[in-house]
Structure 1
Amino acid sequence: MAPKVLISDALSPAAVQIFKDRGVEVDFQPNLGKDKDKLAEIIGHYDGLAIRSATKVTPKILQNAKKLKVIGRAGIGVDNVDIPAATAKGIIVMNTPFGNSITTAEHAITLMLALAREIPAADQSTQAGKWEKNRFMGVEITGKTLGVIGAGNIGSIVIDRALGLRMRVIAYDPFLSPERAVELGVEKVELEELLKRADFITLHTPLTEKTKNILDAKALAMTKKGVRIINCARGGLVDEAALRATLDSGHVAGAAFDVFSTEPANENPLFGQPNVICTPHLGAATSEAQENVALQVADQMSDYLLRGAISNAVNFPSITAEEAPRLKPFIELAEKLGSFAGQLTEGDLKKIQISYEGHVAQMKTKALTSAAVAGFLRPMLQDVNVVSAPIVAKERGIIVEEVTREAAGDYESLITVTVFTDGVTRNVSGTVFADARPRIVNIKGIRMDAEFGHSMIYITNLDKPGFIGKFSGTMGDAGINIATFHVGREAPGGNAVALIEIDGEMPPKVLEAVRALPQVQSAKPLKF
């Protein structure tokens, strides 16, 4: 029997035709996504669900999705899909991460040019019958410095277009290698330098814990007087109230925003400002972009339903159903080892090396490497998944090296993630025992045996008496319960590491108190 797909949002007729041509039965109901109850009522009849942004795939809907195998989102954002609920039911969630890139980059350039010449205000004035030729004094783009925050897929297109406009371009992106920067023709700088030098600043980074309010009051105060700021990436990257204050003071000359911290944005601190341009999240709103992502999602879903091939999945790697049970615990291990390394990495990244020893070396290591790289990148780039991770790493010029050794050592299977940065090399190793639960067995050459917990603290310290007691006392005084406590050391009295799982979050004040303890060299909270 042919698989059956429901399209519950407005998708291109060409996408509907792709499904039909490939032998997939299609039910095209473009307005159904707005009716949650009706969708929940009929979803049980379908193998696939193709959506845009209007359909909200909630746990209630998924509860009734008895046959559903795949959800395809025509576009990059999957905020409207409950991914953990879909994953728990074994439903693949796919997106089309690169279909909107050119359109979004062009929108950023358009807003920058409109901001430089005050186009919207001049248009409004002229059409109102005024002729205020002397009121609208713009600035030239040529020769100005554009600061690009985030030099990934969209950011790199913006860089290319800006160079064509004869701008000087500088970029801040921790994952941008010096070699890739040369290839793009951009000068790589730290964020502080970008803020001080840029005449225009454009943001092209996802919203994560690290990037939220990356332009806050402190950062905005460091910017060059007369700077103009463009955001076509994600609401929440800029503190809108702080930006309003700098616009009022005249320090920031103007801003152009396509995205807002709350959407739909019926009100916002930036609204009503004469030197602000606002558009209603139009980054992907061109007929070409909508066509591209629709065709792409139809192809991807057809490939999966008919051949079992998975591409651009946000919750599963590119592996077959036969390989999944054997690979699953090792995928989890690789991703968590990558995440461990990613959360600890600072400085310019040169290379990530993932080595496999023993039985795991004979498995599909490409999927495992993708999982490790995704885990590594996700603390900074949350939209990364195990499929897109290698592409994202390549875009940023990150070298990913895979090493296999089939001879087993102390463990039947061992995965090691090694990160090379400027002058520093860090490695962490792990394995999976018979209980199928991933474990860390070695950090920087120091042996230990620790399971991954949701909330952990990683400490490097000197192996001296009193550390464990003082740490435990600090936790106890703060009312924080220790779930597990694992330690290891190079030699008596030498360097040591501790990996502690705690219940709940680690408050910043308590973390500072831990860092102030005698013998503690560093302390870092980790999330898994």
Structure 2
Amino acid sequence: MTKPKVLISDKMDPKAAEIFAANGCEVDVKPGMTPEELKAVIGEYDGLAIRSATKVTEDILEAATNLKVIGRAGIGVDNVDIPAASARGVVVMNTPFGNSITTAEHAIAMLFALARQIPMADRETKAGEWPKSKYMGVELTGKTLGLVGAGNIGSIVAARALGLRMKVIAFDPYLTADRAVEMGVEKVDLDTLLARADFITLHTPLTDETRGILSAEALAKTKPGVRIVNCARGGLIDEAALKDALDSGQVGGAALDVFETEPATASPLFDAPNFICTPHLGASTTEAQVNVAIQVAEQMADYLTTGGITNALNVPSLSAEEAPKLKPYMALAEQLGSLVGQIATGNISSVAIEVEGAAAELNQKPITAAVLAGIMGRYSQSVNMVNAPYLAKERGLEVSEIRNQREGTYHTLLRVTYVAEKGKRSVAGTLFGSDAPRLVELAGVNIEAALEKEMMYIVNEDTPGFIGRIGSLLGDHGINIGNFNLGRRAATGEAVLLLSVDQPIGQDVIDAACKLESVKRVKGLSF
């Protein structure tokens, strides 16, 4: 078996390369490549491990013909074109927890630095001055801290701030009331936070919704003299508006570790009063660098060798513990999806994926992705679990999920119901012996069949002698039948015939079969 090949294209702790090698991956460490150099070699690799320097653009991805996974050692993935990666079936992972404590501690350090104006006092003292009366600070104790974003890093900042006897309020659309109580913070809307906070610190990713969240309009709503810290992402604050607010005194101080454009070698903010900045040091501790390098290597190696998916941004996560349990279900799901994709007539407008019995206890998202990968194979030969949902969305396919805890005829069941040109149809399957996929329902007909590599699908009126006629036809064309599976709605009614054969069914065989008496439809299937 060929070993997965991984490229580390940014400076990273050596432990990352060691972990890749220990997990059976070949690894090349080539930091500092130009985009042209990266484009020239990326086609050789299954995995790409990066930090913030490498820009994974659509142009790079077009050349990455074998790439399966991109791993970002850190939380921000602004440097990865995620839609382009998804369209090409490439998993994008990050390490959202490896530098959480480090970044949170940097934010707290910035709070102290702002409150006591430490950098300015340090600079003037070293210049031979003694500005003791010039720098009058404020205490953090008793002040209100407003968190914009209360996720992993925000929650750590909240805990540290509460330890400093600050009152903490938080704006986060995803923060539940129970979680707010658990954190010891008060959940508020953004306008309330702006009006009440003595200090504001940002801990949210940069998205279309959060870009410029502290705009000129928002800064005008703040409590006069508020102090602002941003150790999250550049672009969350309108920097020109912040400069004006610092000059007017509406904002009493600001500390930025991140800028809209980096490296920020020049900025109007540098001349603003009570402004502190650092060069994107939020994750720059020895511990954090080791942690994120180890985590990204473990996650990528796990995916490349076992299929486990952790901290992915464009596909449902699938832990190493879940993967063995879900693997046979995903195989069944992809087969059923492929069957739907091959037998459906005309455009498929909607699909419902239903899990029942034991299947209902599992993570349904990977099962849904596998069904869609099977269905979308009718439109693209380069489809997988990653890009299938995107392809389905592009084609306007309505997708729904149903979970039934009840146990019916089968201990575990997966049913795919679709709407196409001829109305609503469904297929269903189960697992025999816990890991062998079996088809048990096809277009309303009960049928038991293993979906094998090459098959022939026939819908016909159930009449005497038909089985003999189809057997003779295949024999005349030199096609051997492996397995024979028959189901029918009622005696002398419509029947469904699935044959496994030793070679693909050609158009000449299909044409000949269509001429047989009582045949309604013939289709060659491949799985």
Q: TM-score, structure 2 length as denominator?
A: 0.63
* Of 362, 365, 368, the match for 1:368: 365
Residues 86/118 of structure 1: CA separation in 2 closer, same or farther (3 Å cut): same
Letter paired with 2:29: F
What is the count of residue pairs matched by the alignment? 365
Deviations 1:62-106 (A, max 9, x none): 333232222211112222222233223322222112212111111
Q: Percent identity?
A: 62
| Whole-angstrom CA distance in 2 between matches of 1:356 and 1:85 | 26
Residues 357/13 of structure 1: CA separation in 2 closer, same or farther (3 Å cut): closer
Residues 371/56 of structure 1: CA separation in 2 closer, same or farther (3 Å cut): farther
The answer for the alignment partner of 2:87 in structure 1 is 88
What is the deviation of 1:323?
5.9
Contact in 1 for aligned 2:356/2:405 (Cα 8 Å): no
What is the deviation of 1:2?
1.9
Contact in 2 for aligned 1:360/1:413 (Cα 8 Å): no
| Whole-angstrom CA distance in 1 between matches of 2:149 and 2:336 | 33
| Whole-angstrom CA distance in 2 between matches of 1:81 and 1:360 | 40
What is the deviation of 1:365?
5.8
What is the deviation of 1:358?
6.9
Q: 1:347-386 alignment to 2 at 5 Å?
A: 362=359, 366-368=363-365
Letter paired with 1:322: A
Residues 432/282 of structure 1: CA separation in 2 closer, same or farther (3 Å cut): farther
Q: Secondary structure at the match of 1:120?
A: helix
Residues 212/80 of structure 1: CA separation in 2 closer, same or farther (3 Å cut): closer
What is the deviation of 1:315?
1.9
Q: Secondary structure at the match of 1:255?
A: strand
Between 1:358-367 and 1:188-197, the stretch displaced more is: 358-367
Between 1:241-250 and 1:82-91, the stretch displaced more is: 82-91
Contact in 2 for aligned 1:361/1:404 (Cα 8 Å): no
Letter paired with 2:286: S
Letter paired with 1:142: T
Deviations 1:460-491 (A, max 9, x none): xxxxxxxxxxxxxxxxxxxxxxxxxxxxxxxx
The answer for the alignment partner of 2:266 in structure 1 is 267
The answer for the alignment partner of 2:206 in structure 1 is 207
Contact in 2 for aligned 1:169/1:186 (Cα 8 Å): yes
Letter paired with 1:17: E
Residues 371/176 of structure 1: CA separation in 2 closer, same or farther (3 Å cut): farther
Letter paired with 2:102: T
Q: TM-score, structure 1 length as denominator?
A: 0.63
The answer to whether the aligner puts 1:163 opposite 2:162 as a matched pair is yes
Residues 241/318 of structure 1: CA separation in 2 closer, same or farther (3 Å cut): closer
Letter paired with 2:34: D
Residues 327/312 of structure 1: CA separation in 2 closer, same or farther (3 Å cut): farther
The answer for the alignment partner of 2:70 in structure 1 is 71
Q: Secondary structure at the match of 1:201?
A: strand
Q: Secondary structure at the match of 2:276?
A: strand
Contact in 2 for aligned 1:413/1:432 (Cα 8 Å): no
| Whole-angstrom CA distance in 2 between matches of 1:328 and 1:217 | 50
The answer for the alignment partner of 1:507 in structure 2 is none
Q: 1:63-212 alignment to 2 at 5 Å?
A: 63-212=62-211
The answer for the alignment partner of 1:404 in structure 2 is 404
Residues 275/414 of structure 1: CA separation in 2 closer, same or farther (3 Å cut): farther
The answer for the alignment partner of 2:463 in structure 1 is none
| Whole-angstrom CA distance in 2 between matches of 1:121 and 1:111 | 13
The answer for the alignment partner of 1:24 in structure 2 is 25
Residues 323/50 of structure 1: CA separation in 2 closer, same or farther (3 Å cut): farther
Q: Secondary structure at the match of 2:7?
A: strand
| Whole-angstrom CA distance in 1 between matches of 2:415 and 2:227 | 51
| Whole-angstrom CA distance in 2 between matches of 1:326 and 1:20 | 34
What is the deviation of 1:290?
1.2
Q: 1:304-383 alignment to 2 at 5 Å?
A: 304-318=303-317, 322=331, 325=334, 362=359, 366-368=363-365
What is the deviation of 1:234?
1.8
Residues 358/95 of structure 1: CA separation in 2 closer, same or farther (3 Å cut): closer
| Whole-angstrom CA distance in 2 between matches of 1:327 and 1:106 | 50
What is the deviation of 1:310?
1.6
Question: Over the residues paired in the alignment, what is the CA RMSD in angstroms?
Answer: 3.3
Deviations 1:258-282 (A, max 9, x none): 1222222233332211311011221
Where do 5+ consecutive residues of structure 2 fail to align? 319-326, 339-351, 370-385, 387-400, 425-527
Contact in 1 for aligned 2:361/2:405 (Cα 8 Å): no
The answer for the alignment partner of 1:44 in structure 2 is 43
The answer for the alignment partner of 1:61 in structure 2 is 60
Contact in 2 for aligned 1:259/1:280 (Cα 8 Å): yes
What is the deviation of 1:414?
9.9
| Whole-angstrom CA distance in 2 between matches of 1:328 and 1:268 | 54
Deviations 1:266-318 (A, max 9, x none): 33332211311011221111121111111011111111111122222222224
Q: Secondary structure at the match of 1:139?
A: coil
| Whole-angstrom CA distance in 1 between matches of 2:263 and 2:48 | 25
Where do 5+ consecutive residues of structure 1 fail to align? 330-354, 373-385, 387-400, 416-430, 439-528
Residues 43/208 of structure 1: CA separation in 2 closer, same or farther (3 Å cut): closer
Letter paired with 2:419: F
What is the deviation of 1:135?
0.7
Letter paired with 1:368: K
Contact in 1 for aligned 2:117/2:137 (Cα 8 Å): yes
Residues 324/243 of structure 1: CA separation in 2 closer, same or farther (3 Å cut): farther
The answer for the alignment partner of 2:282 in structure 1 is 283
